[in-house]
Structure 1
Amino acid sequence: MPDLFGERLGRGDLMRRIGRLDQAAGVRLVSLGDGAERGVRLLEFQTGTGFSFDVVVDRALDIGRCEMGGRPLGWLSPVGFAGPWFDEPEGLGFLRNWGGGLLTTAGLDHALFMAEDTAEHFHYPPKETESYGLHGRVSNLPARLLGYGERWEGDECFLWAEGEVRQAAVFGENLALRRRVEAKVGESRLRIHDEVENAGFDPTPHMYLYHVNVGWPVVDEGSELLAPARGVSPRGDYQAEGYERFHGPQRGYVERVFEHDLAAEQGGTVPVGVVNRRSGLGFYEVYRRDQLPHHFVWRMLGEGTYVVGVEPSTNRTAGRLDARERGELIELSPGEGRTYDLELGALDGNEEINRFARRVEALRPG
């Protein structure tokens, strides 16, 4: 039974008070109409609690704008949610078409920094190797929208959307991502369930990363990371001490990335949050360690690009070639697949922040 605007109402009592569910909550398909965003489809979700978010259909069903009570949770780049037809997949071209948003998916056959790797498994002599750009291709691929809407289960209502993204090439990979996004009316969170399948006939490498981008006002002077870390490793020549505390925007700031070993709860889930106690606003993610064994923090506390990434991943920050050398690069056989589950949500008020902090603290070592 959803709690809407201070009242707990069953389906019958709610529908007696409104003309259609959209008055209180719902999902709406729209298209953007101007500039580089023209023609990009969005699904606008409203859960009735003040929690709202956009699913960007033409960008792999990633999560764009996300707000709690009108206050943004994610970071938006100057690019906007430009059409995938502007994609520049080579090298660092990803950054020219990256709108930010709360969630950007990296994959399906490559994530992290650029690499050149063997393509011999595709049996095409003119292509002995393949060059991979930053974070792969999937976030710049439009989805085939399979459906969206509302589903009642007794007095509970679920908002949902589902689609399929195909990353394929002749004499190359043929990978399919089927994504389902759900949010419950009366709650301030969303859940993503992803299924990645090798739909081709050649063994194909697979890498996957959720680039979750938390922005102002959650990230601000004095904000903090909540993570059950058992150890922290900087990716560069800087100290890990204090990596969980954030400062205001700095001119000329150079990104810092930290890989940490996080403890899981009894059921295998890992809770991570970014919170601003001064403003009483926070964000959290929950993922499964058995699906995504690695996790990074991207501290980019510069002017304009003022964002903290909390990023579950199949692989270490060292990337593709390191994974291959370690024997950790996933290779999907024909017909083989992997599943991934991610929960993203708002922490509205210091009571919710403190409750989540206790959940994380319970996992910290002695």
Structure 2
Amino acid sequence: MNDEQKVDASLSTEPGWKNKISNPAQLGGIETAILDNGLGRGNRIAWINTGTGLRYKVVFDRGMDIADAFYNQYSLAWLSHGGFTAPQPQSDKGIDWLRTFGGGLLTTCGLSHVGGPEKDEFGERGVHGQISNTPAEIVSIIQPDPVAGKMDISITGIIKETKVFGPSLELRRTISGRLGEPTIRIHDEVINRGNTPTPLMLLYHFNFGYPLVDEGTEILWKGQWQPRFGSKNARIFREGNDFKKCPAPIDDHLGTGEEVVFIDPTANDSGECTCGLSNTKIGLKVEINFNKSELPHLINWQHWGKGEYVTGIEPATNPPIGQAQARANKELIFLYPYETRTFDLAINALEI
């Protein structure tokens, strides 16, 4: 069979579901709901089913972050004890953010500050900013229609970080995919709606947990690295340690125990970076792909406490050093009035 005949054959191949489904939801799609119980009561959510075994929950009222995520029977995400609470927009001082940190597959940090609490002549900023505690205005939900050949699914919303006299940043987020593909795509556009230059700091806090994360799971990233508090203070991220393999829970990480490494990720010839996790015991790998020109930094958070067993893999515009230190280092990004920056990431579930 020549190449032309192969193309013709592929075009004539009919899907197995043709003439056999009454409703597109039999294959997948988007189901919206409102939680009616617990700490997350009142949160608007959407369950997205890709029809491949990959399904995940988007929390509209928490910056369109992603909470639970599964591939077949396996959970991908770590969830904190409290899970996703109702939004608390005033939790932007000190370490209040930790009270509302649900974990989940994705918690967005920013838009103008990523790091610990700080106060200076430019204002007071709490841990990791306020965008994840801000509800979204949903402007579009696109459902699939397989019979009409429309396999794309997407949700678009607008989340605002704003106050009178500024700053006024706006995040327009689209989470999308296609039926039959085990992929989550995130397209973010951040625009400065104010009339003065405004700092931009953005970090994608991906949080992975059991059973994807288990003893022996490989942590996948490449690049030059530096422990957050320097080599002398590092116990995990030291030359010679196998810190890219998940350990059993460790007593050193009870309570506030943790360790963080800052990575200059290696990109391919197209500028694309790949990171993630691989667990051969369950035959599953999750990859995150992003462009280094948009997100030049990568962070690996490891917290192996008993009952709080999690690792974070976090592409970012800056390491989480805070706005003040980034300013002092002359690394702080500014968006000028009506300037827009875009960020694209893809999360893929792969059987191995």
Mark yes or no: TM-score above 0.5. yes
Q: What is the 5 A alignment of 1:283-294?
A: 283-294=286-297
Separation in 2, partners of 1:151, 1:90: 42
1:182 — aligned with what?
Answer: 176
- Look up the SS of the partner of 1:322 in the other structure: helix
2:56 — aligned with what?
Answer: 53
Instruction: Pick the aligned partner of 1:63 from 55, 62, 66.
Output: 66
Q: Tell me if the contact between 2:44 and 2:60 (Cα under 8 Å) persists in the aligned partners.
A: yes
Identity of aligned residues (%): 36
Q: What is the 5 A alignment of 1:241-320?
A: 241-253=241-253, 254-320=257-323
Q: Tell me if the contact between 1:228 and 1:263 (Cα under 8 Å) persists in the aligned partners.
A: yes
- Look up the SS of the partner of 1:22 in the other structure: helix
Instruction: Pick the aligned partner of 2:139 from 126, 146, 154.
Output: 146
| Amino acid in the other structure paired with 1:228 | K
Instruction: Pick the aligned partner of 1:38 from 38, 41, 66.
Output: 41
Instruction: Pick the aligned partner of 2:335 from 332, 352, 355.
Output: 332
1:165 aligns with 2:168: no
Separation in 2, partners of 1:159, 1:326: 41
Q: Tell me if the contact between 1:164 and 1:179 (Cα under 8 Å) persists in the aligned partners.
A: yes
1:203 aligns with 2:203: no
| Amino acid in the other structure paired with 1:185 | L
1:235 — aligned with what?
Answer: 228
1:327–1:152: structure 2 CA closer, same or farther, 3 Å change rule?
farther
1:191 — aligned with what?
Answer: 185
Q: Tell me if the contact between 1:44 and 1:52 (Cα under 8 Å) persists in the aligned partners.
A: yes
- Look up the SS of the partner of 2:56 in the other structure: strand
1:179-198 CA-to-partner distances (Å, cap 9, x unmatched) read 00101111111100000000
1:48-104 CA-to-partner distances (Å, cap 9, x unmatched) read 111100111111111111000021001001112111037522111111011110000
CA RMSD of aligned residues (A): 1.7
1:218 — aligned with what?
Answer: 212
Q: Tell me if the contact between 1:53 and 1:65 (Cα under 8 Å) persists in the aligned partners.
A: yes
Q: Tell me if the contact between 1:235 and 1:317 (Cα under 8 Å) persists in the aligned partners.
A: no
1:137-179 CA-to-partner distances (Å, cap 9, x unmatched) read 0000000011112256974501110000011112331110000
Aligned residues between the structures:
329
Q: Tell me if the contact between 2:171 and 2:190 (Cα under 8 Å) persists in the aligned partners.
A: yes
TM-score, length-scaled by structure 2:
0.89
- Look up the SS of the partner of 1:96 in the other structure: helix
1:107 — aligned with what?
Answer: 110
- Look up the SS of the partner of 1:110 in the other structure: coil
- Look up the SS of the partner of 2:30 in the other structure: strand
- Look up the SS of the partner of 1:285 in the other structure: strand
Q: What is the 5 A alignment of 1:114-153?
A: 114-119=117-122, 130-151=123-144
- Look up the SS of the partner of 1:84 in the other structure: coil
Instruction: Pick the aligned partner of 1:72 from 56, 75, 79.
Output: 75
1:343 — aligned with what?
Answer: 346
Flag as ranges the 4+ runs of structure 1 deviating above 6 A: none
Q: Tell me if the contact between 1:295 and 1:311 (Cα under 8 Å) persists in the aligned partners.
A: yes
Q: Tell me if the contact between 1:141 and 1:165 (Cα under 8 Å) persists in the aligned partners.
A: yes
Separation in 2, partners of 1:174, 1:118: 18
Separation in 1, partners of 2:60, 2:261: 31
1:86-130 CA-to-partner distances (Å, cap 9, x unmatched) read 7522111111011110000001111121222333xxxxxxxxxx1
